[in-house]
A and B are shown apart, each in its own frame.
Chain A
Amino acid sequence: MKNAVGREIPDSLLAGGKEVYQGKNYMDGKYIQKASPRTRRYEKPQESKIVETLADALRQCGARDGMTFSFHHHLRDGDYVVNMVMKAAIEELGLKDLTIAATSLGSAHDPIADYIEEGKVTGIQTSGIRGRMGEVVSAGKLKTPAIIRSHGGRPRAIEAGEVHIDIAFVAAPTSDCVGNCRGIGGKSNCGSLGYAMTDAKYADHVVVVTDCLVDFPNMPTSVEAIDVDAVVVVDSIGDPKKIASAAARISQNPRDLMMAENVAKVIASTPYFKDGFSFQTGVGGPSLAANLFLEQYMDERNIKMGWAIGGICGPMVELLKKGKVGKVIDVQDFDLDGVNSINQTPGHFEMSASQYANPANKGAFVNKLDFVVLAALEIDTGFNVNVLTGSDGVLRGAPGGHPDTAAGSKCCIIVTPLVRGRMATVCEHVVTVTTPGDCVDVLVTDYGIAVNPLRPDLVECLDKAGIPHVTIESLKEKAYSLVGRPDDLEWEDKVVAVLEARDGTILDVVRKIKPYTLED
């Protein structure tokens, strides 16, 4: 069945009432029955919940074949915990048919690819999938299709019971002996633990894994001991160098700066750019540099940013310290400036993934967002964005908060160079739709700006401000004139990943890529 972004979704995936994507806000006003976990009572006072090993913790939580284990991705590419836990479960306890439900996965988790090939890990639910794991899943080696969700779609699915977490593993930079966790104060700090919060509330069992045990009570807590079954102390939960960069630097690349300047110009031309406006930006070159130019416009018009959300890094913390943004609400930190500021700098708060982006709750921050500036691997003439699959059709990215912030914000700006090497970023059809075009408003490239025709009001704003813009078709043609028009990818029928829209409908599928052979 074809969905609202023109993608053919196999009927077999629509069993059990699953629907195809119908457009923005389709589920608005519907009711959900929230799931509740079945948790163990710890009525008798306990001195400590510390157990010796991960295997002990797994046994204590009744780990068995077919279970779903959840993880957060705050340690990013420095994470050791996913591999450690899966090794204990599979190699020490001999478990199989396991599903990993992670908020995201990266190349740090390459070893999991072996467990997929051995059939020990049979399900993957995640936002991001990269490296070897992306390759083996794309090659059709995972028993069930991987389910890819946005950062808001995941807590929605958990609350609706579509994902039932048997054991949540919380990698914690610090914990006390009963499992009060924080993302700071230890040796592998990550700042916010926002992505672990919903998991801990909805999992049947919660195991905290830390490398820095601190005195009780570890306050203010990010994940609370009231939800924790066991605490395991390990030598190291991750590689600090890969958890958070020293400081996110603003790009000096003239191309990035030019695009960033145009992003700021577009923002400043809209009616939403007024005192108290709200903003989210990524850490990519031009996205982050937009901060710099935006600040100039704020100074010029003598206005301040009301609040900012998202993945947070140094430049935003700087704005907070200078008093140019009122509050920073933080689901994840990208650099040490962000890590060291959360809950320390007045006005810098932590939030959960659900509070950040869940489309089914009653007050997600993304819904109050004026502007979001996002990157893209590809964007097509329908303004659909792909941030998941590469030009070879292999899984190597993450929707993250992209679809959530795009849908919630009043003005979603995609900033990307027109071509990357030999690849056209602006194209006829993206490989995979991860953010539907009806949520994307403006595209800023190094070769020009295009406004989504669904937003004639923004067209008027740009015209009024004298900002030149062109059609997205002309940008696509320019891209193809520079690097050529690529042949279509060739797929087999087998679906290797299902891309869920944030509301739970099916936005797209990723199929097994046909091995490429040279013609005689």
Chain B
Amino acid sequence: MIHRPKPERFRLRRTMMFMNAQKPGLIKDAYIYGCDSIMLDLEDAVAENQKDAARFSLYHALTTIDYGDTEVIVRINGLDTPHWQEDIRVCVAGRADGIRIAKCESARDVKTVEAAVEAAEREFGVEVGRTLLMAALESPKGILNAYEICSASDRMFGVAISGGDFRKCMQTTFQPDGVDMLAARGQMLLAARAAGIQCFDTVFTDLDDSEGFEAEVRQNKAMGFDGKSLINPKQIRLVHQVFAPTEKEVRQAEKIVRAFREQSAAGVGVFTVDGKMIDVAFVPGAERTIKLAKACGMYKGDL
């Protein structure tokens, strides 16, 4: 059996690629495409009478395939279905890194899943607290309750919006400028940042519209998202490109981190870098930039 290291709650998650957990040809080596996380789907991609088969396929993938550094998350079926409890048992038994709660609408939903996860961890002898959670907000109610959802559990690492369902609820359709989901994206980002967790945007489904995709990814970055859900490996490159820091940002971040270390060792709190005032508040952002730069192969220094 493959032993996956303990999942890291806050890691780089620029790209989360969805794939049907029932398709061995897809999931056997999905890590080769270089996305940060893969999202093995037990929900919509799997037909109602195939849920069981998909769980078997998922379990064997989790326990026999070495996904390396690629995070492995599983999207389970909604809490209004007869499937979710068994889905959770399989995820925990196979030591998935995290579970994505579909159609999450309240803190109670998170706590319900958390309780089932903990029970499964005890059942299968998995360290309690190992399995991370994220929530997918797919309805107006989910968006309105975003903050309570984001702060419902220490296992929560992030929240994502699911555009297809959400747009239906709102009686709108995809708009190239993103106005259809502007309020929802904004509200969710506010909630996630307030709760101190990550935030991910929905999939872009028209694979032939590369310009539209790029525009949406750029908007995602500008709004402050951590990453995006994807449906095809060929979308990965662009997201990584857009989310990559510029050379200048990397140089600046390195200076800030180094200066902060020197100055704080010398007992100085506020100082200047290239004429700009810097204090401790700038450091997490700078460290994040370095981490991103490393993931993009842009930074090879010792920080």
Contacts and interface: CB of A to CB of B under 8 A. Distances in A.
Interface of A: 254-255, 257-258, 261, 446-447, 466, 468
B156 to A, nearest CB: 31
B248 interface: no
Interface in B31-73: 32-33
Interface residues of B, number: 9
B29 A254 contact: no
B297 A466 contact: yes
Contacts of B232: 254
Nearest to B17: A254
Contacts of B276: none
Contacts of A447: 29, 32
A261 B237 contact: yes
A447 B298 CA distance: 22
Interface of B: 29, 32-33, 232-234, 237, 297-298
6 contacts: A254-B233, A257-B234, A258-B32, A447-B29, A447-B32, A466-B297
Contacts of B298: 466
A258 B297 contact: no
Nearest to A448: B32
A254 B234 CA distance: 6
Q: Interface residues of B: mostly helix, strand, loop or mixed?
A: helix
Contacts of B233: 254-255, 257-258
Contacts, number: 20
Contact of B33 (A254, A466, A468): A254
A258 B237 CA distance: 10
A258 B32 CA distance: 9
Contacts of A258: 32-33, 233-234
B32 A446 contact: yes
A466 B294 CA distance: 11
B31 to A, nearest CB: 9
B241 to A, nearest CB: 11
B238 to A, nearest CB: 12
* Residue from B32, B232, B237, B297 having most chain A Cβ neighbours under 10 A: B32
Nearest to A254: B233
B296 to A, nearest CB: 9
A254 B232 CA distance: 8
Nearest to B26: A254
A255 B297 CA distance: 22
Contacts of A468: 297
Nearest to B232: A254
Contacts of B33: 254, 258
Contacts of B29: 446-447
A139 to B, nearest CB: 34
A261 B237 CA distance: 10
Nearest to B28: A482
Given A254-B33, A257-B234, A446-B29, 6 more contacts: A254-B234, A257-B233, A258-B32, A258-B33, A447-B29, A447-B32
Contacts of B32: 255, 258, 446-447
Contacts of B297: 466, 468
Nearest to B33: A258
